[in-house]
Every structure is written in structure tokens, then in C-alpha cells.
Amino acid sequence: MNESLHALLKRCDTPTVCNAIEVAQGKRGFNDFTRGTMQSSAPGAAMVGYARTARIQAVNPPTEDADVIRARRMAYYKYMAEGPRPGVAVVQDMDVPNAIGAYWGEINTNVHKAFGLSGALTDGVMRDLGDLPDGFPVVAGSIGPSHGFVHVVDFDQPVEVQGMSVAPGALVHADRHGAVVIPQDVIPALEAAIAQLFKSEKVVLDATKGKRIDFEAFEGAWAAFEASRT
């Protein structure tokens, strides 16, 4: 991903990215995105970056020795501090649908932001909504008050978040609508696809937004819209 594409994706919402992937692929049917309603700590912000993946649990205390848990936690932080940038922490909560441990609060968001990550995506829980740092959005499955017995189970492995599979290093885009994994093969064509998408949508929006039109005017605008997409 070059700097120009990165800047463009930061300005786009996730539905636009989903539509642009279909434009780049020349067909519908792409389905590598989250399901269900997610919560965003910063509704106006989008995150984009290469996935740094992990899994956590919190309902029950860990059964392993405390030294093992501590060593894994520090290895996890080292992993999150390294790798390509921009990066996004993608963390699966293995307690879903009964997740209670808010891994993403004031401490962890500031730590991960200091590592240079661009945000966090999880099907688990976030908290401390008034104290999260600017410039580090969290898109989560839920909001809750406690961290429970939260601990890292593993990292740098494929994870699943809200029905979306994410491999380490996958390019992820997320905002208040949810998240999408951008296929590697469409990345070179994505800027042009977004430009084409905006051009096509403008045909309909210019004809309808803030206006009152009859069906005949709509029919003509829609024909021009469909022609612009071919």
C-alpha cells in the first residue's frame, strides 16, 4: 500500500471500501467483512493497516502458571510493537458471545498507540470511553465496565472477528460500520476503483440530493448511473 492509497483510505468509510472492492473485481459477491452491529469509540474516524492478530479470554482465570501468562503477555506486546506500519491490532475474544473482559481501555489503547498502531478491531469489549486517546479508534463488539480475568491466549495466528477471518498481515479497514479485509490482488487497482465509484455515485447524487424530481428525471439519471459503472 503506497502513501497515496493510505491517505485515501483514511478518508473513506468502510462501505465505500466494500463497494470499491466490487468495482475493482468487476462483480458482486465479495463477502470478507464483519457481520452484525459493532461499536465505535470514534464514530467519525476510520482505521486502516496491516493486521497484528491475537486472541484473548476473560470470563475465567487462566489455568497456566503466572510466569507463563506474564511471559506471553510481554511477547504479545513485543509483537504488537513490531511489524509493518500502518498496523491495526485485531483481537478475537474467545468468550464471545459471552464476552465480559474489556481489554481495550485507557491503558491498552495508549500503549498500542505508542507502538505506532492505528487502531484496534475486536469482537470483544471496550471501556473508558471518555479517556481513550485521540487518533486511536476502537471498533468493538460491545461496551462494558470490567476487564474480568482478561489474558492473552496466543498471537500472530489467524483470528475471526464478527464472522470475518483475518490472517496476520492482512490489510484491514474499519470504522463505525464494521470492518473489511481488502484482498491483496485488488490493492493496485483500489485507488482507481474508488475514483470510479465516486464518479458513478455523483451522477445520481447530483440529480437527487436536496432536490424534488419526477420519475422520468430519475429514470434518465439512473440510466446514466448504470452506464457510468460499465
Distance CA 54, CA 118 (A): 16
131 is in an annotated binding site: no
Residue reference for cell 513490531: 82
The angle formed by the CA atoms of residues 26, 206 and 191, to the nearest 5 degrees, is 35
Q: Report helix, strand and coil shares of the chain as percent, to nearest 5.
A: 35, 25, 40
Distance CA 125, CA 141 (A): 6
128 is in an annotated binding site: yes
C-alpha cell at 216: 422520468
Distance CA 47, CA 187 (A): 16
Backbone angles phi, psi at 167, to 5 degrees: -90, 150
Beta bridge partners of 64: none
> Which residue, among 218, 171, 214, has the nearest Cα to 5 in the 3D structure?
171
C-alpha separations of 138 from 3, 46, 170 in Å: 23, 9, 18
Do 153 and 145 touch, CB atoms closer than 8 A?
Answer: no
Q: Centre a 10 Å sphere on the Cβ of residue 130 and count the other Cβ atoms it contains.
A: 7
Q: Which residues fall in the annotated binding site for substrate?
A: 127
Q: Which residues fall in the annotated binding site?
A: 127-128
Q: Which residues fall in the annotated binding site for Mg(2+)?
A: 128
